Structure 1
Amino acid sequence: MSGFAYRVVGGKATAIPVDEARCNGGDLIWAHLHTRDDEARRWLADKASLPDVVVDALTATETRPRCDAVGDGAILNLRGLSSDDMVASDPLASVRIHAEANCVISVTRKSMEALAVVRAAMEAGRIGDPGDLIVAFAGAITEELDPVVADLGDTLDSCEEELGQENVFELRRTVAHTRSDAIGYRRFLNPQRAALEKLAQLPADWLTDEDRLHLATAADRAARMAEEVESIRERAALIHEALIDLRAEQIDQRTLVISIVAMVFLPLTFLTGLLGMNVEGIPFAHAPWAFWGVVGVSALLSVVIAGYFVQRHWFR
């Protein structure tokens, strides 16, 4: 079982072994586990003495952002960026947190980039209570997600500027990938906003007014990002429809050109086929000027037919 733990005494954080992390109601203890095995369940149940409902919440395979009050504490699930390979439908790693007075236990199954930021804040002495720790998690997660969502919007802006060019297939791939990412983020941003808002409203003594203000700010940023990814999803759908129309228009134009060329050569093919039959009685078969005469007639027919199409505006 991998993980780490800190004890905060007098505003100073000291790293301690995970097995020595005991929530005694005095100094702030933060124990973090990064594992998928059953050893984590045993540690949470035996060493941390957590009830089964909390152990199940911290070790669940599939999670979504949520916040639930459990006695004097709370269970909070958040989603953030990960350095691990993630699937498009589930692009964010989860952190499961159980917090109560002077004790926080967190669990991750995949690496989370925000965790390093929170550890740095802990070691710098900027975290003094469970509220500060949760606020650090919420702030780091939203701070990292914000530019990622903004990049999705910038990608669509670039795609809109390139509409009308010949790279339709490349644009369709880019738009589809951007839309898939936006849908993946949208699944978690709205529940994350609701979870942060619910936590800010819990009547917990270990949450100060300043903590609640920071949680509300993080929830507001999550709501703004949720609105942005929803807008990106809708814009991507509109751009995709425009690309389909553009591709259909290109196909129609090329089909028209092919049809015009075919109609120009159709009478010529009939004429040359008729004169090319190997039978007696073909007029001027032995005349020395016959070949160039047929060529001239064919050229004249081509000019007449092309002029007709130009007059009918078929080339527009």
Structure 2
Amino acid sequence: MSRIFVYDDEGAHELHLDAYRALQTRPAFVWIHVDAGAEDARAVVERCDVPDAAASALLAQETRPRCLVMGEGALINLRGLGAAQGNGGDPLVSIRLWADHARVVSVGYRELAILDAVVADMMAGRLRDPGDLITDMAQHITAELDPDVADLGDDLDEIESDLGDHAPIHARRRVSRIRATAISYRRFIAPQRQALDLLAMADVPWVHPDDRLHLQEAADRCARMAEELEAVRERSALAHEELTDLRAERINRQALIISVVALVFLPLTFLTGLLGMNVEGIPFAHERWAFWGVVATCVAMAMGIGGWFMATQWLRR
């Protein structure tokens, strides 16, 4: 499904595709958003008079953030949070844009979370040229991503504050999730900064000075997020190693306790096994106090062995 937004003398409004084709005069600015999953997506893009190289890039399945200037037009790929999370794909959704004089053609396979906000800005008449639209989209994307990146750092701070002998067992899974998310985000945010920088410096007439300032601001924000994600990735690796060491230490301590118990009971088992043989000649076998004598001997041996372990501080090693 394609959506067409037009800004002209009557203000901003949305048009059906047939109504847009029936326009007698070219509007001051038009934004055509194409759902790449629709059957007519390729036909709509081809009818928009987009250069062949740009059309292929707009409909590509796999993309990364970039900016490529072609004459007075530019191909821009951006990534932002998707409207539907948890569907198994990349958490950052791609939107491809072709911009030239008074027109933007955008293509997306999955809907961006910020798309409704951008549409609202368009319908309010605040977006009047391609520079305004791309700048607004970049600012919304970075503003939406910033809290998520900060939450990753806060979650890691919480885990690091709980590190110790009583660290929760599930902490390793949380650290792994945080690290995987940070790596996934940084893979796209770092090149997105370069794409926004290139667009801010591009020699195209529809990027005005105020647009360049806003694009540079969004690029700086992406740079800060990339640095924060790199720090989260490194801290996650250290936290994971520390949690692994704590887990190994717990296992070693439990194995040590089991070994001590086995060493305490080893001589007792030997004694009871020796006295339990059905042969003649066992001393005091027919005395009334023989059973309690054996019990007292076992208790004394256990206490003696345990006392030796405590005196040598063997359990603290």
TM-score normalised by the shorter chain: which range applies?
over 0.9
SS of the residue 2:206 aligns to = coil
Letter of the 1:36 partner, please give it.
Answer: G
Letter of the 2:32 partner, please give it.
Answer: A
- TM-score relative to the length of structure 1: 0.95
Task: Report if the CA contact (8 A) 2:28-2:128 is conserved.
Answer: no
Q: 1:1-316, aligned counterparts within 5 Å?
A: 2-10=1-9, 12-21=11-20, 27-45=28-46, 47-85=47-85, 90-164=90-164, 166=166, 168-316=168-316
Task: Report if the CA contact (8 A) 2:196-2:216 is conserved.
Answer: yes
Letter of the 2:211 partner, please give it.
Answer: D
SS of the residue 2:315 aligns to = coil
Structure 2 vs 1, CA of residues 126 and 7 (structure 1 numbering), >3 Å: closer, same or farther?
same
* Long gaps (5+) in structure 1: none
* Residue-by-residue CA offset, 1:107-135 (whole Å, 9 max, x unaligned): 11101111111101111111111111000
1:18 Cα deviation after fit: 2.8
Task: Report if the CA contact (8 A) 2:79-2:192 is conserved.
Answer: yes
Structure 2 vs 1, CA of residues 256 and 79 (structure 1 numbering), >3 Å: closer, same or farther?
same
* Residue-by-residue CA offset, 1:248-288 (whole Å, 9 max, x unaligned): 11111111111111111111110110000000111111111
SS of the residue 2:278 aligns to = coil
1:315 Cα deviation after fit: 2.2
- TM-score relative to the length of structure 2: 0.95
Instruction: Give me the CA root mean square deviation.
Output: 1.7
1:35 Cα deviation after fit: 2.7
Letter of the 1:253 partner, please give it.
Answer: R
Structure 2 vs 1, CA of residues 286 and 86 (structure 1 numbering), >3 Å: closer, same or farther?
closer
Letter of the 2:44 partner, please give it.
Answer: W
Structure 2 vs 1, CA of residues 37 and 151 (structure 1 numbering), >3 Å: closer, same or farther?
same
SS of the residue 1:90 aligns to = coil
Tell me the distance in 2 between the aligned counterparts of 1:11 and 1:107: 26
* Long gaps (5+) in structure 2: none
Structure 2 vs 1, CA of residues 214 and 112 (structure 1 numbering), >3 Å: closer, same or farther?
same
Aligned residues: 314
SS of the residue 1:308 aligns to = helix
